[in-house]
Amino acid sequence: MGDVVLVPMFAADTPLVSRVLPSPNTRERKAGERLEFLIIHGTWMAGDDGALQRLCDPVAEVSCHYYITREGQILQLVPERLVAFHAGVSKAVNSEGVEIHGLNNWSLGIEVANCGPFLDGPPSLEQETLVGWTRAEPYTEAQYVALKALVADILARNPHICVERVLGHNEVAPDRKSDPGMHFDWSWLRS
């Protein structure tokens, strides 16, 4: 068995959070790094327990700031002031027109529970590129309601993030990620 990593509890950044579940997979932001992007993910995992275990496993080295369950409950895993490891090899253009590589340093990550078309478990990299969306798990109305409220709250508190820089993981890492998926309805963002 691996060593137990004790992660300090922190206060949620928004009253929308129903529970804080600290992840050890984080670091301080470096000088010059500021929040400019909000990245939406689909977990591509069947259940909350497995996804949350992975997001809090120091061996996995992945995390997110917020997690939305299928029932619309919002959990916070990493404080907004810290970097969460959610975007990986990624890029997008910032507010100054400069292409930024490694968006973890410049973004907040929201994982929305959904197995996508991968009903049999997390996909391999090859499966991500050969995805078939006809059997994708739908996102729930409760998730969209929670996500819309959370995004509005984040944008109100973070002036450098604008609605045009609320992006899907597939948009910032198109050659390796397909989440939140073709079945994700972006209309909530503009309504």
Query: Cα separation of 125 and 175, whole Å?
Result: 10
In terms of Cβ atoms closer than 10 Å to its own Cβ (0-12, 13-18, 19+), residue 3 is: exposed
171 tagged catalytic: no
Beta bridge partners of 100: 92
Residue the block writes with tokens 């397909």: 178
Is residue 137 a contact partner of residue 178, using CB atoms and an 8 Å limit? Answer: no
Helix or strand (DSSP H, E) at 141 = helix 141-157
Is residue 112 a contact partner of residue 180, using CB atoms and an 8 Å limit? Answer: yes
Length of the chain in residues, anyone? 191
Beta bridge partners of 69: none
Cα–Cα nearest to 156, from 13, 55, 5: 13
**Catalytic pick from 36, 111, 128, 137?**
111
Active centre residues (catalytic): 111
